[in-house]
Structure 1
């Protein structure tokens, strides 16, 4: 479980091949991201917030 606090953000989860697995918008508050439904592997979180985009690699 990963947590982040933002006013508004769009989060896209992709696998190591670039396939989009989940897309979710968050408005004001913590963004719990539950990856338990996915098998072990490498995932990327693309977070768009405040006019910027961040990419974080997650190894599960």
Structure 2
């Protein structure tokens, strides 16, 4: 398992394709009013805990 992690070869084109797909999906979620409301509701219900974070993460991390 360690060998797979240390010696893996990542195809940059595949990584860029996946990155763009994830960003596109995140954009769709951010532009859906119902999803936005549920994100705020979830954040309020679980304030101060890791559960308050969006499962989609932040787009800054993906870029």
Of the two, which has the highest radius of gyration? 2
TM-score range, shorter chain: under 0.3
Q: Greater strand percent: which structure? A: 1
Q: TM-score, length-normalised on structure 1?
A: 0.22
Determine which structure has greater relative contact order: mean sequence separation of CA pairs < 8 Å that are 6+ residues apart, divided by chain length: 1
